[in-house]
Structures are given as structure tokens and as C-alpha cells.
């Protein structure tokens, strides 16, 4: 029989950022880990994301920061530009993995996924695709997990890392408040302009926009559209609509706008946040990452929280006598930080909607400083 004091076995639901890092960290601590991923393969979608200092620090603990920096784009500054196209300040972010390495990195999502996936498999983690958990019961010290292929597992730990719409959260009866805040976010993959050596954020009269380098060749343009309902546009309308929205910005955005004209990779998604109101676990089952706390993209820190969750989870179940005690310690260590980040991201949305950008920047900077504290 699997038991905590014997073989440490875990099932993780979801092979995203949180699931893969938790799997690697647990496997390195001697756990046998299996991931049930609903998607059909190791591929992931989406253009890119920014790995902030806390992300890089957590990846460095796993020995993966240099691989991400080698394939991504290391940078250390955020340049704010005001509604008239004039510089409104440059923030130099703290270099959390040493003065010789950059403060953050832009990286294509499939590249990050490949790095995390390869390491998990190297550590012996088994990833099964097209499978999910359909029932969960605590049986003494073990969790019985029924998978959608009809098989059962009895494991010491179940981790729900299945994203903002987590079904594991539902199976555990945990309540999350999910919010839509009247914003749609746009992304377009473009060639990196030579001046884009850090993140640029442009305040607009109605919306906000920006540019994040992903490699020496590529960058992504983002635009956050304010005061809109959730809606879906036909693919053919996406690039022309994004160009129209960027037309309202002065200065350098004009150049970005012309790059979008040539981009065939424009996506538009609603901005959602999620936060678990109470505990994150039931017995020996817990949810982590976006399943527990999904901030809005404005703080560029959802992946940081997800990676930290994976590391801290492995640390706490490793240092406690029982999984239950480890999970309690994990949640007490993580919940305040994750709540602050989600709530700050929602406050920033409010300020953006009210066109009070100058108040949003210090709020974001203060929250980045808080996130720079150890996880």
C-alpha cells in the first residue's frame, strides 16, 4: 500500500507551469509523481510571457533559470510612456539572481514549457495526456483518485494544478471567486525592434499597450482594452482591430502598429482573476497555481506564483511528519502573498479603467518589491 511514510506518491492534475514545477520539485525530494494532463500533447499555446525576478529566482532554485535566459531575452527595465508619447519614468528592477544576470526574461510559452517538461521527465515524472481526475476521496492517510480512463490511484498527495478553470477545485468542493473586470487583452507576435531591450508600457487615452521582447528576434505586443464586454471576434478581424486600437497612441506605438500589420498571430482574451476564499486543501489534496490564485496579467506574475507554489509545496511536505501538516504549512506560507498579488492586479485594473495610470505605476512597483521578498 502506498503511504506517506513508505513510498511517497503524488498525482498532479495539469502539466502547466505550476504542475511541472511542483512535479520536478517533489520528484527531487524522492516522490514518485504522475501528471494527468487533459491536453493531447506536451505542446502549449500562447505567445509569450515575462519571467519576473521571483520567477527567475524560483527557476534558478530548480537549476533552470540559465536555460530560460539562453532561449529567452534577459532584461532589467520597464519604461513607462505617458499618453502624449513622452517618457514617464524608467524602473530598474532588482536583480534577484545576482548582479551579473538580468532582472527578468521574456520567453515564448512553448519554450518555457519545453524546458520545464524536459526537466520533469529527466527527474522521472510520468506525464499522461488526454487524462483528468474525475473523482477524489480521502481514504485514511491516502487520497483515492479516479482518472477519466477508468483507472484508480491511491496516493499520499493529490495536487490540482489545472489552471484558472480548475475542475480539481470543484471535485474538492473549494470555492473560488472568479472575476471579469471589463477588460480584454490582446497579444500579437512581432519582430523585436532594436530599441526594445526592456519592457515598454504605453499609457493611452482609453487603453494601455506595451512591448515585451521574447528573444533577439521576437517580441510580443500587448494591448489592454478597457470598458468592454466579453466578446469573440472573427479571426480575420483581429489584426485590423488591434491596429485601429493602437492608432490612438502617439509616438513609438506607430512603429509597433506597422509591425502588427504584418502579424498573423493576434489573439484577444478576456482578463479574468480568481482567488480561493478559504483553505486550498481538503485532507491530502491541494490546489496550486492559477487554480488557487490567478492574478490579472498586469503584474506579469502569475507564473512566478505558480513556480513558487511548486517549490514551497515540495519544501513543506518534505519537512513535515504528515502530508496534512505539510499542506497546512504550505497554504499559510503562500496565501497572504498570493492574495496581495491578485488584489493588487485588480486594483491596477480599476486605475487603468479610470485612466489614473500615474497611480497604477507606484502600486505595481510596490507589489514587485514585495514579491522580491523571499517566497
Ligand X SMILES: Cc1cc2nc3c(=O)[nH]c(=O)nc-3n(C[C@H](O)[C@H](O)[C@H](O)COP(=O)(O)OP(=O)(O)OC[C@H]3O[C@@H](n4cnc5c(N)ncnc54)[C@H](O)[C@@H]3O)c2cc1C
3-state secondary structure 103-158: CEEEEEHHHHHHHHHHHHHHCCCEEEECCCEEEEEEECCEEEEEECCCCEEEECEE
What is the spatial distance between Cα 110 and Cα 103, in angstroms, rounded to a whole number?
21
Task: Give min distance, CB of 50 to ligand X, in A.
Answer: 4
Q: Which of 12, 17, 158, 203 binds ligand X (CB under 6 A)?
A: 17
Complex with ligand X: residue 252 or 268, whichever CB lies closer: 268
Per-residue contact flags (x/-) with ligand X for residues 226 to 265, judged by CB under 6 A: ----------------------------------------
Q: Which three cell numbers stand for residue 49?
A: 510571457
Q: Which three cell numbers stand for residue 360?
A: 497604477
φ, ψ (nearest 5 deg) of residue 161: -125, 45
| Residue for grid cell 524546458 | 115
Q: Which of 11, 27, 49, 223 binds ligand X (CB under 6 A)?
A: 49
Q: Which of 10, 11, 15, 253 binds ligand X (CB under 6 A)?
A: 15
Picking from 188, 206, 200, the residue whose alpha carbon sits closest to that of residue 249 is 206
Q: Which of 68, 104, 155, 300 binds ligand X (CB under 6 A)?
A: 300
Complex with ligand X: residue 169 or 252, whichever CB lies closer: 169
Torsion on CA atoms 53, 11, 137, 277, rounded to nearest 10: 10
Q: Which segments of 204-353 does DSSP mark as H helices, in order?
A: 235-246, 253-261, 302-319, 323-353
Task: Give min distance, CB of 6 to ligand X, in A.
Answer: 27
Picking from 339, 96, 356, 85, the residue whose alpha carbon sits closest to that of residue 202 is 85
Residues 75 and 213 sit within 8 Å (Cβ to Cβ): yes
Q: Which of 23, 83, 304, 342 binds ligand X (CB under 6 A)?
A: 304
Picking from 26, 18, 101, 24, the residue whose alpha carbon sits closest to that of residue 57 is 101
Q: Which of 9, 12, 19, 242 binds ligand X (CB under 6 A)?
A: 19
Beta-bridge partner residues of 139: 142
Complex with ligand X: residue 49 or 81, whichever CB lies closer: 49
Edge-to-edge strand list for the sheet holding 9-13: 126-129, 32-37, 9-13, 157-160, 285-287, 281-282
Residue 163 interacting with ligand X (CB under 6 A): yes
Q: Which of 10, 34, 37, 367 binds ligand X (CB under 6 A)?
A: 37
Angle at 153 between CA 151 and CA 158, to 5 degrees: 125
Q: Which of 9, 11, 12, 14 binds ligand X (CB under 6 A)?
A: 14
Residue 136 interacting with ligand X (CB under 6 A): no
| 16-24, 62-70, 232-240, 254-262 -> range binding ligand X (CB under 6 A) | 16-24
Q: Which of 12, 13, 25, 176 binds ligand X (CB under 6 A)?
A: 13
Residue 185 interacting with ligand X (CB under 6 A): yes
Residue 50 interacting with ligand X (CB under 6 A): yes
Residue 345 interacting with ligand X (CB under 6 A): no
Q: Which of 11, 12, 18, 375 binds ligand X (CB under 6 A)?
A: 18
Q: Which three cell numbers stand for residue 192?
A: 523585436
Residue 39 interacting with ligand X (CB under 6 A): yes
Q: Which of 3, 29, 32, 38 binds ligand X (CB under 6 A)?
A: 38
Chain residues in the site for ligand X (CB under 6 A): 13-19, 36-39, 49-50, 55, 132, 161-163, 167, 185, 269, 289-291, 294, 297, 300-304, 306
Amino acid at each position: 500500500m502506498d503511504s506517506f511514510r513508505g513510498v511517497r506518491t503524488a498525482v498532479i492534475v495539469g502539466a502547466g507551469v505550476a504542475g511541472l514545477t511542483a512535479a520536478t520539485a517533489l520528484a527531487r525530494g524522492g516522490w514518485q509523481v504522475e501528471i494527468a494532463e487533459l491536453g493531447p500533447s506536451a505542446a502549449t499555446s500562447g505567445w509569450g510571457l515575462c519571467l519576473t525576478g521571483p520567477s527567475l529566482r524560483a527557476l534558478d532554485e530548480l537549476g533552470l533559470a540559465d536555460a530560460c535566459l539562453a532561449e529567452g531575452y534577459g532584461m532589467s527595465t520597464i519604461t513607462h510612456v505617458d499618453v502624449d508619447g513622452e517618457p514617464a519614468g524608467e524602473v530598474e528592477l532588482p536583480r534577484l539572481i545576482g548582479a551579473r544576470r538580468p532582472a527578468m526574461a521574456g520567453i515564448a510559452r512553448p519554450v518555457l514549457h519545453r524546458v520545464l517538461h524536459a526537466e520533469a521527465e529527466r527527474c522521472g515524472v510520468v506525464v499522461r495526456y488526454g487524462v483528468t481526475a474525475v473523482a477524489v476521496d480521502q481514504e485514511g492517510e491516502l487520497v483515492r483518485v479516479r482518472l477519466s480512463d477508468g483507472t484508480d490511484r491511491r496516493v499520499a498527495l493529490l495536487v490540482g494544478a489545472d489552471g484558472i478553470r480548475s475542475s480539481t477545485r470543484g471535485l474538492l468542493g473549494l470555492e473560488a471567486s472568479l472575476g471579469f473586470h471589463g477588460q480584454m487583452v490582446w497579444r500579437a507576435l512581432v519582430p523585436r525592434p532594436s530599441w526594445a531591450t526592456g519592457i515598454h508600457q504605453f499609457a493611452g487615452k482609453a487603453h494601455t499597450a506595451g512591448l515585451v521582447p521574447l528573444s533577439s528576434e521576437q517580441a510580443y505586443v500587448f494591448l489592454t482594452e478597457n470598458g468592454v464586454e466579453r466578446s469573440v471576434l472573427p479571426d480575420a478581424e483581429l489584426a485590423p482591430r488591434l491596429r485601429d486600437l493602437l492608432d490612438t497612441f502617439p509616438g513609438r506605438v506607430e512603429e509597433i502598429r506597422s509591425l502588427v500589420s504584418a502579424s498573423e498571430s493576434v489573439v484577444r482574451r478576456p482578463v479574468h482573476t480568481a482567488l480561493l476564499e478559504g483553505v486550498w486543501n481538503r485532507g491530502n489534496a491541494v490546489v496550486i497555481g492559477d487554480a488557487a490564485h490567478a492574478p490579472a496579467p498586469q503584474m506579469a506574475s502569475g507564473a512566478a506564483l505558480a513556480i513558487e507554489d511548486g517549490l514551497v509545496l515540495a519544501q513543506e511536505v518534505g519537512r513535515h511528519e504528515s502530508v496534512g501538516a505539510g499542506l497546512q504549512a504550505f497554504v499559510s506560507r503562500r496565501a497572504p502573498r498570493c492574495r496581495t498579488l491578485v488584489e493588487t492586479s485588480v486594483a491596477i485594473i480599476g486605475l487603468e479603467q479610470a485612466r489614473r495610470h500615474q497611480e497604477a505605476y507606484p502600486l505595481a512597483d510596490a507589489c514587485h518589491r514585495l514579491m522580491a521578498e523571499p517566497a
